[in-house]
Structure 1
Amino acid sequence: MSTATTTTTAESAELAPVSTESLAELLIAKERPPRPSAWSASLAFGWRAILKIKHVPEQLFDVTAFPIMMVVMYTYLFGGAIAGSPSAYIQQLLPGIMVMSVVMITMYTGIAVNTDIEKGVFDRFRTLPIWRPAPMVGYLLGDALRYTIASLVMLAVGLIMGYRPDGNVIGVVLGIGLLILFSFAFSWIWTMFGLLLRSEKSVMGVSMMVLFPLTFLSNIFVSPTTMPGWLQAFVNNSPITHLATAVRGLMAGDWPAADIAWSLGWAGLLLLVFGPITMRLYAKK
């Protein structure tokens, strides 16, 4: 009993009562921390997206195993029939498959947004004194890392299979950079659907309905000259066709100025249209 009394007395001595005046001075004297800038807030949410990959590494399956499967499967299935040999076909196919795979995994941005909404995480974000678009931009910045990983994985597999980019390192970097920039803008479509639709399965279903015809009806696999005239009109004006031609040309050492301009124009248009729509939906969600 004496030991307990001594301990209580010692704790009471250490935890001396604080007066109201001293507590008020403690709370008011210091300045509030500065509000984070738009860039730092976006980077913080981008780091959050990267940490989610760290804790759930299975998320990298779609940017590693899936691209490898696409490159190997299409090269050896269609290479002999279309170009005479897989080694000849992969020179044209690899940049196109890179575009197709990266554009298709952009839909996971919308799925991640929808999942956080269902869990109530976005309600917490909206209470923070930060730049309002920061959570959305952070998602896209984190996914840009996924796009880069997917591109590098496919490039490595292609080099092993015989692909040789005549544009060397500069052409490859420019091609991948253009692809990531376009994918960043394209991802805003799926953030919009992630806010609009009620479940992640709905987001995936709508994404597939858009992505499959958009990527397959392009010049990724074959030249549009072999298609019917009415289909050529669609394929030749598709943003995926312009992007695939631009990336293919840059990695081959050319400078397809028209297709680069079209790709950048499409990216700017997508960002200007779907960015404000997404943020308006986010504000009302």
Structure 2
Amino acid sequence: MRTRASGRTVGGLRSLSLQAPAVTLLLIWMAVPLGMTVWFSLQRYNLMMPGMEQFAGLENYHYLLTDPALWRAMANTLILVASVLAISVVGGTLLAVLYQQEFFGRGIARVLAISPFFIMPTVSALIWQNMMMHPVNGVLAWLLGLFGLPAIDWFSSYPLLSIIIIVAWQWLPFALLILLTAIQSLDDDQVEAARMDGAGPLAIFWHITLPHLKRAIGVVVMIQMIFLLTVFAEIFVTTSGGPGLATTNLAYLIYLRALLEFDVGGASAGGVIAIVLANIVAIFLVRMVAKNLAS
């Protein structure tokens, strides 16, 4: 018994010694930036006033939490995330079912469908701004002109909707890729048995295909929500957060505080608030995905 216990102890210590460098590096990689962000959030620190730094306590947090711009940015962030997720999940599911069917040129169609995901966000925003949504030379203006309708200045009249369309166009292929991979593992015999029992396409989709995709949808929602909370390039290139605060999300508000107003303390406080929000979302998503995996 002593030999076994000592062997387990030595083996456990050996495994811990092997894991210690990686765990230590990971903790340093995470803890140092987080600690510096929290520290700066407690300082009155503006880059335009060097040498005037002083401890401010919770003053930066009080200023942010009482600033209407923060709540407008958080509302825009939630609207953007929820809208893009809805478009991605619904559209990705329907497209996955469509591209699973046999038709001529399916391979080429699949490649074209997922290609927007591999375009850089900055390039994607420029394409939509100058080629698709331009009120004079854009494709959408040309299509509206075919029906005798006036052109729309999208980024002035519908700024947040324009950002949602651009971001959804980029992330819809990701959802399609994950869901198409998942639907390919669906048992064809089960679908064929349902057809022989008289089930129609809608019944098969609702009772067989959709339950089969439940776990994949949970993964799509979790991954996309984490990235959608930090959307920045599309806003920076097209609207710069405007008009006013119409398209300013939490990430862009932090950018405004840090690099335009040079308020490092206020920007760091915004970063801490963003971290708290991201962790709340992550806890919710992890529980949701774990529940789907367990079912």
Same fold (TM over 0.5): no
Greater relative contact order (Cα 8 A, min sep 6): structure 1 or 2?
2
Q: Could you tell me the TM-score, scaled by structure 2's length?
A: 0.31
Between structures 1 and 2, the one with greater helix share = 1
